Amino acid sequence: MKSRLAEVAQKVGVSEATVSRVLNGRPGVSEGTRNAVLAALDVLGYERPSQLRGERARLIGLVLPELQNPIFPAVAEVVGGALAQRGFTPVLCTRTAGGLSEADYVNMLLDQQVSGVVFAGGHFAEADAPHEHYARLRDRGIPVVLFNAAVDHLGFPQVSTDDTVAVEQAFAHLAALGHERIGMIVGPEDHIPSQRKLASFAAQCERAGREVRPDQIAHALFALEGGHAAASRMLRAGVTGIICGSDPLALGAIRAARRAGLSVPGDVSVVGFDDSAFMNCTEPPLTTVRQPIEALGRAAVALLVNQIEGATVAAEELLFEPELVVRGSTGPARG
């Protein structure tokens, strides 16, 4: 007990006597300090005293698929900062190969009595993935917000970048540069944002009076290697402009062009999606469609906190406008 008091006190920056007063329900402790001590108990994995177990912790689960793609650390930074400003402590949960699954993290977060959960890039966006753990959260009345497009039946509020507009911007840019053979690389076939991007791409081709050939569309894993493999096939088919569903896919497409002896943007133009960190430092600097991560993250936190405070929040999707950022990876089509 003595070591537990000391560890919690050090975590919060208060005396052991203050921690003891909180644990024993004694007066003389401010509400902010009391909440901080309870949050520290949860973060450190200590069980709350029985008289305090009915109170939900001021912890928020932030569940991400990975941290290698730089867009997800950016999401974590914005959401975590906005939560801290509201007096909540984010608990970062990242899926890794051979590690905890998304469902495992949900069980852990429920055990920790979290106040809510934000999911970004999770199974909610994959039609063929398991979704039972979302139903468990809904049945327990845990506030949840989803970051970007989701399958239809989950019943949670969402904040999303408008995938339709993103592809419209990228396609119009390449078409204005004279590219007629434009290809699209997106994620797996059951990925909802990718489905939306492909639908927009088909609509843009139809509007321009262009046929969409199978070799102009590719599904790939969201990784540099996936972009490389997909772009290699497109380049052999004569595509001169490639729109990608993420920045790592776009970097893979640029690598594929160079391996094929082609220059970017001299022979091939490439557009990414996200505008994640350091995309202005690549060679060439990447033209990409920027997700408004700051606005999305703050809106997600506002929707979550409103639910926590008892407000009625509709299970609707808020769409945010992306922005085309033109850099050095796109140029006029040859000939």
DSSP string computed for 20-46: HHHHTT-SS--HHHHHHHHHHHHHHTP
Mind listing the pLDDT tens digit of every residue in the chain (335 residues)?
557 888 888 888 999 889 888 888 788 888 888 888 887 887 777 777 756 555 566 889 999 999 889 999 999 999 999 998 888 889 999 987 777 899 999 999 998 889 999 999 899 999 999 999 999 999 999 999 999 999 988 999 999 999 999 999 999 999 999 999 999 999 999 999 999 999 999 999 999 999 889 999 999 999 999 999 999 999 999 999 999 999 999 999 999 999 999 999 999 999 999 999 999 999 999 999 999 999 999 999 999 999 999 999 999 999 999 999 999 999 999 87
Q: How do residues 281-313 score in pLDDT, each as one tens digit?
A: 999 999 999 999 999 999 999 999 999 999 999
Element (H, E) at 330: none
Of 8, 53, 43, the C-alpha closest to 21 is 8
CA distance linking residue 199 with residue 203, whole number of Å: 6
Q: How do residues 236-274 score in pLDDT, each as one tens digit?
A: 999 999 999 999 999 999 999 999 999 999 999 999 999
Instruction: Indicate if 163-290 has the same CATH topology as 59-161+292-321.
Output: yes
Topology of domain 163-290, CATH: Rossmann fold (3.40.50)
Q: Where are the beta strands (DSSP E) in the chain?
A: 59-64, 89-94, 116-120, 144-147, 158-161, 182-186, 217-219, 241-244, 269-274, 287-290, 317-320, 323-325
Report pTM: 0.83
Give me the helix-helix angle, 2-12 and 16-23, nearest 10°. Answer: 110
| Second CATH level (architecture) for the domain 4-52 | Orthogonal Bundle (1.10)
Q: What pLDDT shows up at residue 51?
A: 60
Q: What pLDDT shows up at residue 139?
A: 92
Topology of domain 59-161+292-321, CATH: Rossmann fold (3.40.50)
Q: How do residues 104-119 score in pLDDT, each as one tens digit?
A: 999 999 988 899 999 9
**Domain ranges, ordered by start, for the chain:** 4-52, 59-161+292-321, 163-290
